[in-house]
């Protein structure tokens, strides 16, 4: 075990212990002094008491800190996940609105192209408006697809958020 790993494990085991900072500094300096005098870091750490023994010597139950940190970790994890899911719903909603704008733009362009095609006899102009019509239909179809997909993602994500809330009640 390295010094950093040992000190990190000690820090986690001590949790909210008022003297945690002082205890960690003590072991940090103890290891530094021993390595400066020529000992290997791993030998010094192996010679020390285990993290659980150090915590027990302070009259604390090391498992109590682990349980406490586990609940905190779960709560933080659920909160971060929830914030991420809400962001996904927001972004899917924005994308669905963009899809709706594609549908409306494409629809208006379709009617505009059809209106302009009526009564035109010049082949090049007809070809232009037909190509505009094809583009407009494609834009409309892409918009419909985007909107339907995003609404599906929103429904799925809302169900996942509901499951997170139900899971949170069980913590």
Q: Are residues 53 and 123 in the same domain?
A: no
Task: Give start and end residues of each alpha helix (H) in the chain.
Answer: 3-14, 20-36, 41-47, 51-57, 62-117, 123-169
Domain identity same for 26 and 110 = no
How sure is the predictor about 65, in pLDDT bands with cuts at 50, 70 and 90?
Answer: very low
Domain hosting residue 125, numbered range:
65-169
Q: Are residues 78 and 27 in the same domain?
A: no
Dihedral sign from CA coordinates of 40, 44, 46, 47: positive
| Mean pLDDT computed over every residue of the chain | 85
Q: Which of 29, 44, 60 finishes a domain?
A: 60
Q: Domain tally for the chain?
A: 2
- Asked if 27 and 105 sit in the same domain, the reply is no
Does 69 score more than 80 pLDDT? no
Together in a domain, 48 and 76? no
146 and 92 housed in the same domain: yes
User: Residues 103-161: pLDDT tens digits?
Assistant: 999 999 999 999 988 888 899 999 999 999 999 999 999 999 999 999 999 999 999 88
- Encoding tokens for residue 106? 């494409």
* Predicted confidence (pLDDT) per residue in 43-61, tens digit: 888 888 888 888 888 776 5
> Which of residues 27, 42, 60 is at a domain's end?
60
Please tell me whether residues 28 and 82 are part of one structural domain. Answer: no
108 alpha-carbon distance from chain centroid? 39
86 and 21 within one domain: no
Tell me the pTM. Answer: 0.53
- Looking only at Cα atoms, what is the longest distance across the chain? 99
């Amino acid at each position: 075990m390295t010094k950093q790993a040992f000190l990190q494990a000690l820090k986690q085991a001590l949790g909210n212990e008022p003297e945690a900072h002082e205890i960690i500094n003590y072991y940090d300096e103890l290891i530094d002094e021993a390595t400066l005098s020529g000992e290997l870091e791993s030998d010094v750490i192996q010679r020390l008491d285990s993290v659980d023994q150090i915590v027990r010597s302070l009259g604390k139950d090391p498992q109590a800190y682990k349980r406490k940190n586990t609940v905190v970790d779960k709560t933080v994890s659920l909160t971060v996940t929830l914030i991420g899911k809400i962001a996904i719903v927001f972004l899917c909603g924005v994308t669905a609105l963009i899809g709706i704008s594609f549908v409306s733009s494409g629809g208006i362009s379709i009617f505009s192209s059809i209106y302009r095609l009526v009564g035109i006899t010049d082949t090049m102009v007809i070809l232009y408006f037909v190509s505009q019509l094809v583009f407009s239909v494609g834009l409309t179809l892409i918009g419909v697809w985007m909107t339907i997909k995003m609404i599906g993602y929103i429904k799925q994500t809302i169900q996942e958020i509901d499951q997170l809330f139900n899971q949170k009640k069980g913590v």
